[in-house]
Amino acid sequence: MSLTNINGNDKVRQSVVSPIDKTTSNPVGTSPFGEVTSSPVASSPFIEVTSSDDDRFTPEKNYVGILGLTQCFQNTNVDEAKKERDFLPKTLTRELSMRKIDIKTAFSISPKPVFDKTSCSLYQQLVSTKANEMYTAAQASYESGLYKCITYLNKALFSQPNKVEYYILLGDSYLQLCDFKSAILNYKRVCILEPENDEYFSKLAFIYFLQGQCYSDEELFIDALECFSRASEMKPNKEEYHMKSIACLATLKRHKECLSSINKRLAMQSDKPDLLILRARLHLLFSNPTLSYFDIKEALALDPDNDNADSMQQSLVNNAEKSKDMALKLELDGKLKEALLKITSAIDINPDVTEYHIIRASMYRHNYEFNASVDDLLLAMNQCDQDTTHPMYIQAQQQLLLTFNDFAVHCFNKGFYEEAIILLEKAVKSEKNNKWLYINRGDCFFKLSHFHFALLDYQQADELSPNDDNVSLRLSVVYNEFALLDYKEHKYSSAEDYFSQAIDSNPTVPLYYLSRARSRYMQKHLEEAQVDIVSALHLDRNNNDIKSMFARLFSTKTINEVMESEFGLLVGEALQSVISDKTSDFNQFQKEKKVLPSIQAHSNIQTKLRECMHEKEFHFNIIKEKKKVKDTIDLAIQNRQNLTNSDSRINSKHTISSNSSKKTNWKSSSANDKKNKLNENNNKSLST
């Protein structure tokens, strides 16, 4: 580039030689396929620029390039540039600045080419023809050279970017080269262009599956999981995709997500034994052996010949049996809590075994956890399908009766008699041939002072077991209570009958003979009263109450005289025969009970039930009642009204009154002595 001298007309002329040959095949601004470039100005780096005569810039003429101007001013030094700038006229300076602005604008905003319809259709036909030629060449080279095929397809897609078949062939080519990422990108484009074709989505899911399989072979399980998950999301009906993703989750030890995936899959298809077995293993990892057992059981129901399920079930059964044996051993050692933990573990491992529930119910009963014991026994009975002939059902029923009875005894000891009656009612409904249930319920009624209900229960127990000492003892106590009530109401005849029934039930209690003697004495039946007193002395000679009553009936004789007389000996022999007959009848009943078969053998509980009250407690109640009566009598004697009169009387009577006062003083002192002796005797009887 060169800068010419300035003439007198202030005209500048620059000439730039373009390096582009005008004879080339491709004109400036066209592509190899005949496309027109965006700007003809920007297609050449050198432009010829001329100035007009009227000092105005016209875009139709040649322009000075920005490179020419900058090179022109860079070649001159600073001083020369300053001189020339000072030398140039103002008009030329203004023209140069305007040209710079217009050149910048021309480079930034390029005019779009304008074609008519004919040229546009020809252009599109030419591009389509070229793209089809490239696609045909790609098909021809698909089997011989995949890289050439990919090159042809890229050129074809450059011209026709919306052709689905081009992307399909390109994706298959990348798939043959195991370039899964590129294949996935091309098939994604296919799915976008034709979203209604399900085959393309299936192919894309399959490519994801192949990519995940390669990652899995290389032990890149996180990437494999992502690929399998996308494949299963695109095709949820493909079981292989889900199984592979579940396997990756299990390998990565993401067990919660694995279990969630299996649950979703089983909700859709519940007849897959392999999935059930896999879920059973996961339940074992989460310490849920019960759920694992039921999954294995369901898997075996679907496939009885499945070896994996069979081996897992056998392992669970063996572990449950070991836990049961250990629980029984701990129970024998007295470690009841540890035994409960072990038997609970056995039930969790194998919940279908009825025996385990019965054993745990027994342990709960011994540990006073009666509600839990009842729940286990009811569950055991349901597992037997309410079959009353099943051995486990019979055993569970027996344990249930024991539990109800022990629960009632526990409530009885705590003072909850009504609750104990309710529990015994449930037991009696299930078993009507057990005497202990009636005995215990009678004891509860006795504590509530419902003597009539208690008597009915004791009589029922007596029918089931005649001449039983436990029943006879309770019957005698109840009859004695009725007799005392009648005696207080001066119903001596009725009281005598009740005392007689009490003696028939238990002829070894001297208090009953004494009470009946008093009733007969009040009815003026002295001879019968004498027999009762002698019988009472044969049983207890040291009782002061008996001695006092003896003094009334035998005022002229001593105890030894009466006891050694023929009358006393006969009474003693009769008493001894009555007691021996009572004992022999009971022994004979026991022998017959062993020989005779039971009507319902399965309903009889072999273990003896616990009693609510024992014999000592009944005797203690009798002694306590006796002491209460004595205390009442002594208090009445002490608080009786004084009969002495302080008014003026005749002297003779006054002396008599003094003597009588002495007698009353003597009587009061003797009464006090008698009271002290009675208190001593009562204390001795209470201590015994």
Could you read off the pLDDT of 582-598 as tens digits, one per residue? 766 545 444 433 332 32
Query: Could you tell me how many helices (H) and strands (E) the chain has, helices first?
Result: 30, 0
> What does the alpha-carbon distance between residue 268 and residue 285 come to, in Å, rounded to a whole number?
24
Reported as a pLDDT band with limits 50, 70 and 90, residue 620 is low
Instruction: Answer yes or no: is pLDDT of 531 > 60.
Output: yes
For the chain, domains (ranges, CATH) are 1-114 (no CATH), 122-316 (1.25.40.10), 432-609 (1.25.40.10), 624-640+648-687 (no CATH)
Instruction: Answer yes or no: is pLDDT of 63 > 80.
Output: no
Residue with the larger pLDDT of the pair 156 and 683: 156
Reported as a pLDDT band with limits 50, 70 and 90, residue 271 is confident
What integer pLDDT is reported at residue 416 of this predicted model?
92
Going by C-alpha positions, the residue among 208, 212, 282 that lies closest to residue 248 is 212
User: Within its chain, how far is the Cα of 560 from the centroid?
Assistant: 79
The DSSP letter of residue 641 is P
What integer pLDDT is reported at residue 67 of this predicted model?
37
What integer pLDDT is reported at residue 615 of this predicted model?
56
What integer pLDDT is reported at residue 670 of this predicted model?
47
CA distances from 421 to 74, 440, 447 (A): 122, 9, 11
* pLDDT (average), residues 102-118: 56
What integer pLDDT is reported at residue 25 of this predicted model?
36
Picking from 164-168, 500-504, 619-623, which range would have the lowest pLDDT averaged per residue? 619-623
| Residue carrying structure tokens 């001795």 | 684
> What does the alpha-carbon distance between residue 397 and residue 380 come to, in Å, rounded to a whole number?
9
Runs of H (alpha helix) within 194-288: 198-217, 221-234, 239-251, 255-268, 273-285
Picking from 124-128, 490-494, 522-526, 552-556, which range would have the lowest pLDDT averaged per residue? 124-128
| Mean pLDDT, the chain, whole residue set | 75
Instruction: Answer yes or no: is pLDDT of 522 > 50.
Output: yes
| Residue carrying structure tokens 């003083």 | 665
Cα dihedral 497/502/508/513 (nearest 10): -30
Q: Which residues contact 434 (CB under 8 A, 6 or more apart)?
A: 401, 427, 464, 604, 605, 609
Model confidence pLDDT, tens digit, residues 382-425: 988 888 888 898 898 888 888 999 999 999 999 899 999 999 99
Instruction: Answer yes or no: is pLDDT of 667 > 50.
Output: no
> What does the alpha-carbon distance between residue 632 and residue 629 come to, in Å, rounded to a whole number?
5
Model confidence pLDDT, tens digit, residues 278-328: 889 888 888 889 999 999 999 999 888 888 889 999 999 999 999 999 999
* pLDDT (average), residues 636-642: 68
Reported as a pLDDT band with limits 50, 70 and 90, residue 76 is very low
Instruction: Answer yes or no: is pLDDT of 54 > 60.
Output: no
Instruction: Answer yes or no: is pLDDT of 174 > 80.
Output: yes
| Residue carrying structure tokens 């933990």 | 341
> What does the alpha-carbon distance between residue 458 and residue 665 come to, in Å, rounded to a whole number?
51
Instruction: Answer yes or no: is pLDDT of 44 > 50.
Output: no
Token duo for residue 379: 């569950």
The DSSP letter of residue 30 is B
Instruction: Answer yes or no: is pLDDT of 136 > 70.
Output: yes
Picking from 114-128, 309-323, 513-527, 603-617, which range would have the lowest pLDDT averaged per residue? 603-617
Model confidence pLDDT, tens digit, residues 624-633: 666 676 677 7
Residue with the larger pLDDT of the pair 417 and 620: 417
Q: Which residues contact 275 (CB under 8 A, 6 or more apart)?
A: 262, 265, 266, 269
Model confidence pLDDT, tens digit, residues 1-26: 333 333 343 433 333 333 333 333 33
What integer pLDDT is reported at residue 125 of this predicted model?
79
Beta bridge partners of 36: 30
What integer pLDDT is reported at residue 113 of this predicted model?
56
> What does the alpha-carbon distance between residue 513 and residue 444 come to, in Å, rounded to a whole number?
27
What integer pLDDT is reported at residue 673 of this predicted model?
55
What integer pLDDT is reported at residue 272 of this predicted model?
84
What integer pLDDT is reported at residue 614 of this predicted model?
60
Token duo for residue 240: 């292989």
Q: What are phi and psi of 456, to 5 degrees?
A: -65, -40
Residue with the larger pLDDT of the pair 110 and 30: 110
DSSP per-residue string spanning 492-533? HHHHHHHHHHHHHH-TT-HHHHHHHHHHHHHTT-HHHHHHHH
> What does the alpha-carbon distance between residue 406 and residue 363 come to, in Å, rounded to a whole number?
13
* pLDDT (average), residues 373-380: 91
Instruction: Answer yes or no: is pLDDT of 188 > 80.
Output: yes
Single-letter amino acid code for the residue at 315: S
* Predicted model pTM: 0.57
> What does the alpha-carbon distance between residue 232 and residue 589 come to, in Å, rounded to a whole number?
80
What integer pLDDT is reported at residue 153 of this predicted model?
87
